[in-house]
């Protein structure tokens, strides 16, 4: 069964304190792994798609990496505006057209 587990559930960082969020997955043939950011009361906002182990993508203070079993979202020198819930989702190569989402990591960056 396809499954996505995100850790930690919540993370508090001081401004400038770098850290990583983890997304572990099991899927019968990975087509893509997606990272989204979700602010309170809003819909998920697309950040990255990763397709194969070893791939990395960057956007401002965020860098996403992918292995065969997990993905990391590295946050370098975070700012308070990076506070949000970060969602990971995986898509299998076959089967219905949908994404399997994790429950997210709620990040708080303290000034």
Partner 1 sequence: DAGITQSPRHKVTETGTPVTLRCHQTENHRYMYWYRQDPGHGLRLIHYSYGVKDTDKGEVSDGYSVSRSKTEDFLLTLESATSSQTSVYFCAISDNFQETQYFGPGTRLLVL
Residues that bind partner 1 (CB under 8 A): 4, 31-32, 34, 36, 41-46, 49, 87, 89, 91, 96-104
**Would you state the structure tokens that stand for residue 74, as one six-digit string?**
């590295």
Which DSSP letter does residue 40 get? T
Least gap, CB of 63 to partner 1 (angstroms): 18
CA 50 to CA 30: how far, in whole Å? 10
Least gap, CB of 84 to partner 1 (angstroms): 14
Q: Nearest-CA neighbor of 84 among 60, 104, 69?
A: 104
Least gap, CB of 111 to partner 1 (angstroms): 27
**Would you state the structure tokens that stand for residue 30, as one six-digit string?**
């990975």
| Residue closer to partner 1, measured from CB, 15 or 39 | 39
């Amino acid at each position: 069964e396809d499954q996505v587990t995100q850790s930690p559930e919540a993370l508090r960082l001081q401004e400038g304190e770098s850290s990583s969020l983890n997304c572990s997955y099991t899927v019968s043939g990975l087509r893509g792994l997606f990272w989204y950011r979700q602010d309170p009361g809003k819909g998920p906002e697309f950040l990255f798609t990763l397709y194969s182990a070893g791939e990395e993508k960057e956007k401002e203070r965020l860098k996403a990496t992918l292995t065969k079993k997990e993905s990391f979202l590295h946050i370098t020198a975070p700012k308070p505006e990076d506070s949000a819930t970060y969602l990971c989702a995986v898509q299998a190569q076959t089967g219905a057209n949908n994404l399997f989402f994790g429950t997210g990591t709620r990040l708080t960056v303290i000034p």
